[in-house]
Amino acid sequence: MKDPQRIYKRMIRTLFDAHFMTQRELADSLGASAAAVSRALGRLESEGLVRRVSDRENGRSADRF
């Protein structure tokens, strides 16, 4: 990542606007790789800025942020 703070702000803004998204949906909307989004979400989660919740309404377990 060239500017991690900028990426984190974009992620938080995108999640705020959408309320809940899967990691894949977030990666697609940002045009970022799944690995980069995973690392960034891990850091944001450890800072308490995002929260992971399970979504079982579609018959399978999926974490949403």
Distance CA(57)–CA(11), nearest Å, equals 24
Handedness of CA 26, 30, 34, 35 (dihedral sign): negative
pTM of the complete model? 0.75
pLDDT digits over 23-65, tens only? 889 999 999 898 988 899 889 889 888 888 876 666 554 556 5
* Confidence at residue 28, expressed as pLDDT on a 0 to 100 scale: 93
How far does CA 57 lie from the centroid of its chain? 19
Q: What was the pLDDT predicted at 29?
A: 92
Q: Is the pLDDT of residue 1 over 70?
A: no
Q: In whole angstroms, what is the distance from residue 26 CA to residue 17 CA? A: 11
